[in-house]
Each structure stands twice: as C-alpha cells, then as structure tokens.
Structure 1
Amino acid sequence: MASFAHDHPFDPAYGRTLDDLVRIPAPDDAPGDFEAFWRARHREARAVTTAPEVGPVEEERGGVRVHGVTFTSVGGARLGGWLALPVEGPAEHGFVIGHGYGGRQSAGSDVPLPLPGSAAILPCVRGMGSRSRLPGVPDEAARHVLHGIGSRDTYVIGDCVADLWCAASALQEVLPCLAGPGRLGYLGESLGGGLGALALPWDERFGAAQLTVPTFGSHPLRLTLPSVGSGESVRAHHREHPEVTEVLRYFDAATAAARLELPTLVAAALFDPVVPPPGQFAVHNALPGHRELMVLRAGHFAHEAGADESAGLVARREAFFGKWL
C-alpha cells in the first residue's frame, strides 16, 4: 500500500494493497444494450465530414512539426487541437492523444511521440482546453463532468468520446496513408484514459492503446470513494439525484474495457487523490485481450520518485507500441 504525507481528509490509497487492487472486477450490471448504444454512437461519429484545417507550424521538436488544427465533430461542433507531422518522410504510424481534465493548452509533454516516423492529432474535447470551448459547455472539470448527465443521450462524456473518433477521422483525412484497420495507436491519461476505454472497443482503426490512471472505472465503486477530482462532483450530484446511476452505467470505463480486445498498456497508481486507484485497476483487470500493467506509486501527486517513474513510463510506452504498431 503506497503512503505519502498529504493533507487530504481521506486516504488516497483507500486502504487497498496491490493484491487487493488487481482483484477488483468490472461492474456486473452492464445495461443489456450497452454495446448497441456505443456502436450507434460510433456510426454517427464516423458519418461526420470532419473537414480538417491545418494551420501553420507553431513549433518543431522531437522529430515533428506541430501545427494547429481544427475539425468538425458530432452535432456540428468545430473543435481544435494540435497536429504533429514528421519532419522527414511520410508518416509510418499515427496516434490520437487524449488529455486530462486540466484541458490542453499546447502539445506539451506528449511530444516527442512514442515511435519515430509518427504523426499524431492532439484534440481538445468539447468544452475543454484553449481550442475547443463551446457556448453552453462548461470549461471547468467539476461542472463539465455533470453537463447533460440527466440522460445517456445528452451526457457530455458521450460527445467527448465521439470527439476522439472524429479526431481519428481528421488525422486519416490529412494523412490517407494512415487509413485502414489497426493503423492508429491511442494514448490517454486521466480523463483521456477513461474516454479511451469507452471509445476503443468499437473502432477497428486502432491497433494498440496506453491508458494512464484512467478515470470512469467502476462507477458503483467510485460513488463510494471520496476524491478531489471530477468524481467528487458526480458523487455530490448522485446524493441529490440517485437516478443518475442508470446513466452512469453506460459510461463505465471498466464495463467498456471488458469489450476491449486490442493490446493495451495500463499505468495505474497505488495512491491517487484525484482518480481513486480501485477504479483505475478495475479498467485494467477487465481487459480480455493482451494487457500490460505498469504500477505507479502515485498519480496526480508530486513525489520524489515522480520524474524517474515518468521516464520509466516513457520507455515502457515506446517498447509497447514498438511491439504492437
């Protein structure tokens, strides 16, 4: 069990040891039409004409030139982000890179990319980051995670998943050489990890994925665990509106992970005040295909070994995608 000095009024390790965490299952109450719901959402997103527009070069590093990019997602939303293109030669690999609930203000530490000769799209999902703010969609995590939560058809998390699918379409439109099954990799951390788990089971364009401290795992368990992340907003809302449980069943990352068969690397933390570790491990444990686990001492928490852990994760990521893409 990881332990750090902290000032939270709860235990960010939640009393679980690693042996406890690797035994946490996915929820056993998946809706009967869970797959039908997500496949319909996927078909809708794939039908969108994304019309990507690539801006001028904003920076060059890590073997890529980084451009601004905009594209259309479901509901006609025009979103933005960044596009990384190889400095030399055609793209041999493609990545869609999700972000956390802090949003994204630049390409940041996601460049350099995991493999040489790669291209990537780094979208800001709707409402988040500096390039995808939309009227009526909150840009602050505690309110964003509740937007439209009264119905599975209006919940913003479903639209954010669709934003990732549309980002993949935009990347393939810019680079047709990346079209086809299994040509893309996915990376996502925190919010991006949870969205990735929800998005990937239905999309044949992806060949491998890395999910780091993924959120939205096992909502029945998350609703019992205090945190300082977006999950606490959901917990508070649930206390006043217990019927929201029925909506959350469709947006459980562990339930989706149980249908995710492509090779997946999960980096899950033993101690995390923002995304409770039991939910993170529930995502990993549910995976039925090839899965790899990297155990982090802590997530969303600065500590002495943090830099070394981050470097180790970068090396593990490069080896993983080098094997599967």
Structure 2
Amino acid sequence: MNIGLDLGYGYVKGVNDKGKKILFPSIVSIGFDRILSGIFNTNENIVDNMYVKIADDGGEKSYYIGELAKREGFSDSFMLDTEKYNQSEAKALLATATALLMTDEDKIINIVTGLPLKQYQTYRKQFEKEIKQYKAIVSFPEYNLTRIVKFDKVIIFPQAAGAVYHALMNNLDKYMIKDSYIVLIDVGFKTTDYVVFLINNRLRFSPDLSGTLDIGISKIFVALDKLYTQKTGSNTDTEGLLSILENNNIYFRGQYIDFTKELNILKNELARLIKKSILNSLKDKYEKVSTMFVAGGGGKDLYPYLKDAHANVELVKDAQFANAYGFLKICQMQQDIA
C-alpha cells in the first residue's frame, strides 16, 4: 500500500491509494483505560475516539490522540516544537495514522511524508532514518483493532512542493507557460511555506525564491485567547478556540459571543504579513508569475484575504489535503519507476 501523510503542526492528514483519507488534530496526551467508554461510545467513529496503545522499542505506552486528546486529554495543546520529528509524540501520530490507513491485508507499506522547507535540508536524512527503523504494534482497545506498523520504502519531501503535484495533477498543460513562474502558498498551523517553480519545458524548482515563514494560524489562536478573556473575563481551552475559529462565535453563560469582526481583522493582518514576505522574496520575478496557488487548512481560511496577491490566485482543490495527495502521487510514481 502507498500512503501520503502530512504530519502538520495543527492536523494530521493522510490518504492511501485505496481512496481512504483521515484527518485529526495533532494533539497527543497520556492515556488511561476508560471504563465507561464501552457504554457511551459504541457508535463513535474511531478517528473521533482514539484511545491508543503503542508498543515499540521504548516499551508500551497509552495515549489519547486527536479529538479525544482535545476533549479529555491531560494536555490539549498542539505540538509546536520545531524539532518535534524526533519526539515520541510525533511517532505516536505517525503510527496511529498509518494504522488507520492500513488493512489486514497490507504487508508492504510505502510512505511519503514531508518537512517544512526551512527544516528539510537539516532534518530530512534523520527523519527518514527514524521512520525506516521504526516498528510498532498499534492497538485500539475499544475497537478490538490491532495493526503492526513498519515501513518498506520511505521518502521525505518538502511540504508545499508536495502540494504542487496535487495542484497541477489534472491540468498540467494549462499552467505550462514557458518562462513563467508558478507560486504555491501553503498556510499551516505554525508555519507558511511558499514554493516557486520556473516553467522551462518542465517544472524547475527555484529554492532561492522559496522559503518558510514562521507564521500561521496559531498566530490567530494566540490573539483569540486574549480576546476571549477580554470579552468574557474567563479563559478557554483549545477546543473553545477551535470552535471560535470554525464558527465565528462561542456559547458562554446563556448566549453566543460573536468574534466575526475580530476574526476578519486577524485573518486580514495574517494574510497581509504573508503577502508582504512573499512579494519581497519574489522581487522582479513577481511580474512573471502566471498563477499563485493557495493550499493548506490555513490557506482555505485565508483564501479570501490572499486573493489580491496576484491577478490569478487559485485555491487548490481539497486544500487541507493538498500535501497528502501530492505525497501519495510521489509515492505512486516512485513505485512505478521501481
């Protein structure tokens, strides 16, 4: 089986070549046996209710992952450490996502995943080695499901560059304008990657024009946390902040508190910072850009505020999964070559 997996700071996005896709928050907490879970959670989707036991070289540990960690975890915060890729929590996300995308018949697992451009050159080999050597027994006790996770072929690819494969996949000829440039902006939770390609008979990656910005949707989270306290005199958790971001409001003491105005201001300012940085990087090459693509879960949220960055700005189809689908395409292409 081939898997494309985007281990984002905010969400894990995964797809396989059998058409299955998964999405859950990148939140990991220590887990405990839940005695009453069998009474109340029998009809819940496994992705929304992940109590997981993982046995690897470090022994067996229990975790709440994703939505369950957000609701009931000892820690409900996202993983924002720059070097998270060598941490046990990151491996727990990797193992859990892979187990969910596997079936009992899958004995060979090929995977492509990615790193932000800023980290790619430094951490690529280390991350690839760790995944190749990784083996775990992953079980979901409440669903009587166990998988053995190990990888046969591993490729680490730059984020955003993966999304380009997805953006161009179905209509490459439309964008093959000689001597022009294509830009893809991938807005994530902690970072924003932007990649630039020169069209010259084929796509040529332009590393000097591409980069990673240390800004993403988490900037809005920080501001929302302060605004919530100002409006209510109280504090909220990650689940509450996500609710505000998704719904523009939150229920508090018998009424809905509206954040629409504040969110519009915050999103517009974040988009302005992103546009300014990318335009400064492109300089005179901006005049030769034919298309700017916007991808990522954050890109989906910010697209209305990024549309004026260029005369031709397109939101990538299924933007939150753009890297995962691009990684899957790369995985399949490598298998065809082999």
State whether TM-score is above 0.5.
no
TM-score by length of 2: 0.30
More strand by share: 2
Structure showing greater radius of gyration is 2
